[in-house]
Structure 1
Amino acid sequence: MSNQVIVYSTKNCVECTYVKEFLTKENISFEVRDVLEKQEYQEEVEKFGFLGVPVTVVGEKAVKGFTPELEQLVKLAKQE
C-alpha cells in the first residue's frame, strides 16, 4: 500500500496527460485526484510543498511535473 501512486491533476492539463500516459506505458496503476474537484486534494498537494499540478506521489515522495525525477518514482512504485 505504501507504493500506491497518486497523480494530482486537473482537466485539460497537458503535462498531467503526459504523466498519466507515461505511467500507463510503464504498467503502473494510479489514482487520479483532480484538485479542482475537492479542496482536500489541493491541500494534499500543498502538504508536499507544491501549488500546481501535476504532482505524482508514491508513498511519502512527490514529484511535480513531467520530469526525469518521475522515473525514480516509477522505480519505487515497481518495488513491492
Structure 2
Amino acid sequence: MNNVIVYSKNNCMQCKMTKRFLKEHNVSFEERNINQEPQYLDALKQQGFQSVPIVMNDSMDPIVGFRPDSLKELVG
C-alpha cells in the first residue's frame, strides 16, 4: 500500500468521517493536523487547497472532503 496522508483539523466532521472510513477499511494513514502543525496549512495553501480533509496518496489525485466513493479506491 502506498503512503496515505490525511490532512485534517480539529472539530471537523468530514475529517472524522474520512479517518473513520479509512480505519474501518484497514487503510493505514499518517494524519497531519493543521491546528497542531500549522506548517502544513501553508503547504496546502501553496498547492491551492482551501479546505480539509485532504487525502493524498502516491498513486492517485488528492481527495478533498469526505468522498467515500473516491476513498474506496484506497481500500484495494
The answer to whether TM tops 0.5 is: yes
Q: Distance in 2 between matches of 1:25 and 1:47?
A: 31
Contact 1:8–1:33 under 8 Å retained in 2:
yes
SS in 1 for 2:52: coil
Contact 1:19–1:54 under 8 Å retained in 2:
yes
Contact 1:45–1:55 under 8 Å retained in 2:
no
What is the deviation of 1:50?
1.3
- How many residue pairs match? The answer is 74
Residues 4 and 47 (structure 1 numbering): CA distance in 2 closer, same or farther, change over 3 Å?
A: farther
RMSD over aligned CA atoms reads 2.0
Deviation beyond 6 Å, 4+ runs, structure 1: none
SS in 2 for 1:70: helix
TM-score by length of 2: 0.80
- List alignment gaps of at least 5 residues for structure 2: none
Tell me which residue corresponds to 2:70.
69
SS in 2 for 1:8: strand
- List alignment gaps of at least 5 residues for structure 1: none
Q: Could you give the per-residue CA deviations for residues 33-56 of structure 1, whole angstroms, max 9, x where no partner exists?
A: 111222321133235431110001
